[in-house]
Amino acid sequence: MSCKIDYQAPADLLANRIILVTGAGDGIGRAAALAYARHGATVILLGRTIAKLEKVYDEIEAAGGPQPAIFPLNFEGATLKDYQDMAQTLNTEFGRLDGILHNAGLLGRITPFEQYNPELWAQVMQVNINGPIWMTQALLPLTEASEDASIIFTSSSVGRKGRAYWGAYSVSKFATEGFMEVLADELDNQPNVRVNTLNPGATLTQMRRTAYPGEDPETLRTPEDIMPTYLWLMGPDSTGISGEKWDAQPPRS
Ligand SMILES: NC(=O)c1ccc[n+]([C@@H]2O[C@H](COP(=O)([O-])OP(=O)(O)OC[C@H]3O[C@@H](n4cnc5c(N)ncnc54)[C@H](OP(=O)(O)O)[C@@H]3O)[C@@H](O)[C@H]2O)c1
């Protein structure tokens, strides 16, 4: 699937839209929250480190964006009740959701499978796929209340082709692709809710630095560089597109 790196989003692309971003305190999620707010969205900043979310909140306010909201949540310990309570709170506060960017993610360890710790495996699956799935179930009615909701799941190159030593991270991203297809097919008769996956590609963040400690950062795109596809897939210019696998940048040569 091609990417939309050259997309030029109109300034009011996301005006009056209410968009939830997970892992909004750092890396790609932070950049997406700022970009969505800059294009008019009211952004709900979800994450596990409140101080980071508060910084993003302040940046949005300082830039004159619509007042955001902070929703602290750790996918590791969150229960079904937490997701139901979350849906109730968001329903009371906003009444609908026009977008969800599932972005929070955990790398786990890059190590031979024979040495993979099962507890770490379960932790990665919890944060990268199980938590987001049950959160989505709780929030679906709120997206159905929108005229045009976009649900984006964050994938990875190793979620489209398996790679040695990437263990639970790779498997969780394959599961993400599979879940997106299941949900998109179920929502086929509901044109106001679309669901797609987006692979950011190699991007300069803490996760990338951990995975490739020896890499020259100058060779990487920044989270800000890849925002055009994030904007396009969240906004009305991609209405009607569902069940597809997108890339945020062209393959590296
Ligand atoms: N960077 C890349 O090259 C690359 C490539 C392919 C795919 N991706 C995917 O892109 C997404 C963003 O990655 P990134 O590179 O921006 O990583 P990052 O800088 O490590 O940011 C990850 C975000 O997820 C949050 N998070 C982690 N565990 C969480 C939990 N248990 N509950 C709630 N939030 C949690 C982190 O919160 P804290 O800040 O509090 O830790 C952080 O905000 C991930 O899904 C990743 O798999 C990235």
Query: How many folded domains does the chain comprise?
Result: 1
Query: What are 180-215's pLDDT values in tens digits?
Result: 999 999 999 999 999 999 999 999 999 999 999 999
On whether residue 160 sits in a domain, the answer given is: yes
Whether 7 is covered by a domain: the verdict is: no
* Mutation to probe ligand 1, out of 54, 157, 207, 230 (largest number of atoms < 8 A from CB): 207
Give the residues surrounding ligand 1 with Cβ less than 6 Å away.
23, 25-29, 47-49, 52, 74-76, 103-106, 127, 154, 156, 200, 202-203, 205-208
Q: Is residue 9 part of a domain?
A: no
**Which residues are CB-neighbours of 127 under 8 A, at least 6 positions away?**
75, 76, 104, 105, 106
Domain that holds residue 166: 18-247
Structure tokens at 97: 């959701």
Q: What's the rounded mean pLDDT across residues 90-105?
A: 98
User: Is residue 94 included in any domain, yes or no?
Assistant: yes
Domain of 122, CATH number, reads 3.40.50.720
Beta strand residue intervals within the chain, DSSP E: 18-22, 42-47, 69-72, 99-102, 149-154, 193-199, 245-247
Please indicate, yes or no, if residue 4 is contained in any of the structural domains: no
Q: What was the pLDDT predicted at 1? A: 61
- Three-state secondary-structure class, residue 202: coil
How far away, in angstroms, is 168 Cα from ligand 1 center? 15
pLDDT at 251: 87
169 is catalytic: yes
Q: Is 10 inside any structural domain? A: no
